[in-house]
Structure 1
Amino acid sequence: MKKQIGIVEDDPNIGNIVSAYLKKEGFDVSLSQSAEAAWTLWETNPPDMWILDIMLPGMDGYEFCKRVRQSSEIPIIIISAKDEEIDKILGLELGGDDYMTKPFSPRELVARVKRLFKRTQATASSSDSEGEKVSAGPLVIDLNERLVFWYDEEIEMTTKEFDLLTLFAEHPNRAYSREELLYKVWGSDYFGSDRAVDDLVKRLRKKLPEVTLETVWGYGYRLRSEED
């Protein structure tokens, strides 16, 4: 079955070019010029991936991304003329899986779409084969439902928070460098600053203050198990 991709882009030239390249690669494409129109599509015929602009009329891309993430882990690629590091970090923290700045190569976008679909499918297969839950003391992570519990209390997580916490919990006491964490959580095609790692760890510490996420000075981070 063909994968369906929803494009949210208010510039018709960019939207039509991206749409044409994706259709040429065998994808079904739906093009919306506002987040409100895309939300209607989401409620009636949700796609398998969103390609989302940030600066949109009405509801902006950040808000749209945030709303989608409240109920779904669908892959999201953000495309935007906003190229400041803080913009990229915000987009990724709100649930974006990738971030491309304009102008960009449509061929590179297609390559990233394929890579993200492949990575998403591999993650799903890995979760099925390794079991449904990962535990680290009172911390319980449901891989299939993508839920996090501290004792019996559910802790809300963004996509990247969940992925980073799961990586730590699956390998307690292992120290990861910031570069490793960027590669494993953000992907090999992310070229932003490792400040994204520091910020995400800070958010996890705030949400789970009882979990010991240690700083390995000059290197990175690790989750210290309760047994040590």
Structure 2
Amino acid sequence: MAKVLLVDDEANIIDVSKRYLERDGFQVITASDGEEAMCLWRTEAPDLLVLDLMMPKKDGFQVFQEIRHEDDVPIIILTARCEEMDRLVGLTMGADDYLTKPFSPRELVLRAQTILRRVAIGRGKKPTSFDQLKYGPLHIDSDKRMVQINQQLINLTAKEFDLLWLLASHPKQVFSRNQLLERIWDFEYEGDTTTVTVHIRRLREKIEELPSKPRYIQTVWGIGYKFEGDDDS
């Protein structure tokens, strides 16, 4: 599990970004100022930093320079929309990527996955397996958003894929219908949980040999759903 150090002095950015990263399999530690970030970097040895440039006590530029002096850990910088020069300076200093506030937390997750995969390949290591899952004949590729069964492509809608990926990347973990609504239809979504039931039914019809006796997506009566299967990846 890749570890991310998320550094920002805005509590709402920390909260939402942390939840999105964690739901996609990252371990997340957080800091709200530059001094705390330096302490956590030394003690936790994260695989990736997400670093705001404008912070109290010690700003992101100082943190960036101190870390880069000792380590080549990948860094994504966060900047406000008006700070174009800061972005250019950050990239010149050696940042791996940047995001402009306000940003989509989903985009942050995708940027983090891409950078860590690229770093792993560059160091001659097998890329972290958070982008691909294999359960028997079922193969799920998050990077390509592709699902295959016995090497046959299965066409899923965007929500069906997101739902399958969430369940399959957390095998045996039980999710309530409300939790699935929050995670797949965003945290602010207000809707009927039958939306989840309908999507689960459609998903089973596409990936299960016998939808009435599902192998993969199991119903936990009175609670919600979980994914079952032996990971062959």
- In the TM superposition, structure 1's runs of 4+ consecutive aligned residues that sit over 3 Å from their partners are 82-85
Report 1:133-144 matches (<5 A).
none
Structure 2 residue aligned with 1:66 = 65
Q: Could you give the per-residue CA deviations for residues 104-153 of structure 1, whole angstroms, max 9, x where no partner exists?
A: 11001100000001111111129xxxxxxxxxxxxxxxxxxxxxxxxxxx
Aligned identity (percent) is: 39
Q: Could you give the per-residue CA deviations for residues 47-89 of structure 1, whole angstroms, max 9, x where no partner exists?
A: 1100000110011101101110001110000011154432211
Secondary structure at the aligned position of 1:125 is classed as coil
CA distance in 2, matches of 1:122, 1:65: 24
In structure 1, give the amino acid aligned to 2:65.
K
Q: Could you give the per-residue CA deviations for residues 150-192 of structure 1, whole angstroms, max 9, x where no partner exists?
A: xxxxxxxxxxxxxxxxxxxxxxxxxxxxxxxxxxxxxxxxxxx
- Whether the aligned pair in 1 keeps the contact of 2:79 and 2:87 (CA below 8 Å) is no
- Supply the RMSD in Å over aligned alpha carbons: 1.3
Q: Could you give the per-residue CA deviations for residues 22-41 of structure 1, whole angstroms, max 9, x where no partner exists?
A: 00001100010011011111
Structure 2 residue aligned with 1:22 = 21
Secondary structure at the aligned position of 2:124 is classed as helix
- Whether the aligned pair in 1 keeps the contact of 2:3 and 2:28 (CA below 8 Å) is yes
- Whether the aligned pair in 1 keeps the contact of 2:79 and 2:86 (CA below 8 Å) is no
1:51 maps to 2:50: yes
Secondary structure at the aligned position of 1:74 is classed as coil
Which stretch of the first structure deviates more once superposed, 42-51 or 17-26? 42-51
CA distance in 2, matches of 1:79, 1:73: 18
CA distance in 1, matches of 2:72, 2:81: 24
In structure 1, give the amino acid aligned to 2:9.
D
- Whether the aligned pair in 1 keeps the contact of 2:53 and 2:59 (CA below 8 Å) is yes
- Whether the aligned pair in 2 keeps the contact of 1:66 and 1:95 (CA below 8 Å) is no
Alignment length, in residue pairs? 125
- Whether the aligned pair in 2 keeps the contact of 1:7 and 1:52 (CA below 8 Å) is yes
Report 1:163-202 matches (<5 A).
none
Structure 2 residue aligned with 1:78 = 77
- Normalised by the length of structure 2, the TM-score is 0.52
Gaps of 5+ in 2: 126-233
Secondary structure at the aligned position of 1:89 is classed as helix
- Whether the aligned pair in 2 keeps the contact of 1:35 and 1:64 (CA below 8 Å) is yes
Structure 2 residue aligned with 1:109 = 108
Gaps of 5+ in 1: 127-228
CA distance in 1, matches of 2:103, 2:92: 22
In structure 2, give the amino acid aligned to 1:61.
G
- Normalised by the length of structure 1, the TM-score is 0.53
- Whether the aligned pair in 2 keeps the contact of 1:62 and 1:94 (CA below 8 Å) is no
Structure 1 residue aligned with 2:39 = 40
In structure 2, give the amino acid aligned to 1:81.
A
